[in-house]
Amino acid sequence: MIQKKDRKRILSSINLAAMNPSELREYFTDAIRFWEPRRLIYNVVLAAIVIAYFAVGYPTSKAILSMDFALALFLLAVAANIAYCAAYLADIFVQASGFREIWQRMRWVLFLIGTLVAAIITRFMSMGMFQPSGQ
């Protein structure tokens, strides 16, 4: 359990409003440099899962292709990318703390776990979309 004095020390070290604007800009820039190149990997992993389940369910999966289906798939892709943005909140929060150096070396773990969770969700969604009921 965190002691009261430790809690105050931690919270005072994360006072974003009192930070120097150039320091805050550095945190945002660093987060963008780390997360945006990896967004492509994240999207490719999720797209590969959807394509694999489409291929496994073919020719049955071909029957569900329509404009409405394409729009629904687009909305799911947008939702997945909005979920990806949650990493920014954690990243900037930890960068503003005293753990910045450790975090910069270890944040790939958050990327890995987040991608894995998204892949599991995508798998179940793809199974529901492309596999005939009863399988």
Question: What residue numbers bound the domain in which 106 lies?
Answer: 22-130
**Residue-level pLDDT, tens digit, the chain, 135 residues:** 666 666 666 555 555 555 677 888 898 999 999 999 999 999 999 999 999 999 998 888 888 889 999 999 999 999 999 999 999 999 998 988 888 899 999 999 999 999 999 999 999 999 988 876 655
**71 in any annotated domain:** yes
**1 in any annotated domain:** no
What residue type is 82 in one-letter code? Answer: I
**10 in any annotated domain:** no
**11 in any annotated domain:** no
Query: Residue 107: enclosing H or E segment and its boundaries?
Result: none
Rounded to two decimals, the pTM is 0.79
Number of domains in the chain: 1
